[in-house]
Amino acid sequence: MKAHIVTLPGDGVGPEVVAAAVAALKTVAARYEHVFTFDEQLIGGAAIDATGQPLPAATLAACQHADAVLLGAVGGPKWSDPNAPVRPEQGLLALRAALGVYANLRPLQVHPALAELSPLKNEKLGNVDVLFVRELTGGAYFGTKTRTADAATDECRYTEAEIERVVRRAFELARGRRRHLTSVDKANVLETSRLWRSTVQRIAADYPTVKVEHQLVDSMAMLLLTQPGRYDVVVTENLFGDILTDEAAAIAGSLGLLPSASLGEGKAGLFEPIHGSAPDIAGQGVANPVGTILSAAMLLRHSLGLESEAVAIEHAVDHVLRHGPRSRDIGGSAGTREVCEAVLAAIEDHADHHAAFFHGSRACG
């Protein structure tokens, strides 16, 4: 098949890890006889420096016409002034809203070879397989904001329609997994959470084979650490999802391991690792590319419908995590390029023997 992919390297380690993911996608394209074209655009701090805007019009237009978008990270100390009128994160929020990618999927699994890196005891990790579904285009991040000399407000607003579409996506995903949906809110305090809970209860009638439970966000934060193996699909609003998924990443042993997919009504989506720009290691060639490479696998699965190719990348990453080399954040000493090259070799080993042999350069950045 043919597909056009926009890449947004962004800031910090973003260019390094995106280069690794693009190399993985090029390897897959060659071995499975696809044609992927890539268009690199600016976002975040790099875009502010070049154009004065965190999401230039050219970037947005390119993303709106792409089959999928692959993002690195945005932000860093250079642009961290809280009083600055333009910030890198504004570009990412604006892009999510413009693309209508309201459902952010963040899978959590603990790799057996890395269980010792988790802060939890190993006996709690054996059955951890959670898919977080975070509402991504509403809530406090997008509500009206005010600021005076001595006060500030952030409006958290949700409509029933906004809640329903992401909750139905979560129910559909749960029905295809272990049929257990946990909805996280703060319905004992917040009116938006009361609307959230009543909407979930109403929609649950359409999915009688899915078991539904409700958890308050503060108790859920505790339960993720004490009973992570009991959860299947977890759906929640924007702010709660942002916090809980970072907590969940610590369970896996490193922020550098986990991918995400942001999806809307169509096939096109936005794919990115859950980690930030890591400015402390930017430019050193030591960033872990696994989260971004696995995001490329999610891109293949969700936007391009290429399940076998997605599995090839996932199996390759599994092989490298088991046998090495490993990056510094997970106990190894390998750099970004070395890990990338190992994943590419494993992709080729996994690929079907009848696929076209890869002759091109395997540049990992």
- How high is the pLDDT of residue 156? 96
Domain extent at residue 96: 1-106+254-365
Q: Specify the pLDDT at position 267.
A: 94
Q: pLDDT for 337-362, tens place per residue?
A: 999 999 999 999 887 543 444 445 56
pTM above 0.85, yes or no: yes
Determine contact, residues 77/33, Cβ cutoff 8 Å: no
Q: In this predicted structure, what is the pLDDT of residue 288?
A: 97
**Catalytic residue (choose from 11, 186, 207, 231):** 186
pLDDT of residue 326 exceeding 50: yes
266 domain-assigned: yes
Q: State yes or no: is 329 an active-site residue.
A: no
| Catalytic site residue from 11, 67, 185, 242 | 242
Identify whether the C-beta of residue 330 lies closer than 8 Å to the C-beta of residue 116: no
CA distance 5 to 25: 10
**124 and 248 together in one domain:** yes
Tokens of 255: 């922020």
Residue 112 placed within a domain: no
Q: In this structure, which amino acid lies at residue 2? A: K
Is residue 186 among the annotated active site residues?
Answer: yes
Residue 101 forms part of a structural domain: yes
Give the sign of the dihedral formed by CA 144, CA 51, CA 37, CA 259. negative
DSSP letters, 263-293, are E-SSS-EEEEESS---TTTTTTT----HHHH
Q: What is the pLDDT of residues 126-138, one digit of tens each?
A: 789 999 999 999 9
Quick check: is 218 catalytic? yes
Q: Is 11 a catalytic residue?
A: no
Domain endpoint, select from 205, 228, 252: 252
Neighbours of 363 (CB within 10 A): 14
The total of structural domains in the chain comes to 2
Average pLDDT over residues 86-93: 96
Q: What is the CATH number of the domain that holds 362?
A: 3.40.718.10
The pLDDT assigned to 353 comes to 46
Q: Do 188 and 263 share a domain, yes or no? A: no
How confident is residue 124, by pLDDT bands cut at 50, 70 and 90?
A: confident
Q: Is position 242 annotated as part of the catalytic site? A: yes
Task: Decide which of 252, 275, 295 is a domain's last residue.
Answer: 252
Same structural domain, 309 and 212: no
pLDDT above 90 covers what percent of the chain? Answer: 87
Centre a 10 Å sphere on the Cβ of residue 317 and count the other Cβ atoms it contains: 25
Strand pairing report for 2-10 and 35-40: parallel
Which of 218, 280, 349, 352 is catalytic? The answer is: 218
Residue 113 lies in a domain: no
- Which residue among 129, 154, 232, 246 is the active-site one? 246
Are 89 and 82 within 8 A, CB to CB?
no
Encoded tokens for 56: 């230039």
Report the residue count for the chain: 365
339: helix, strand or coil: helix
Do 89 and 184 fall within a single domain? no
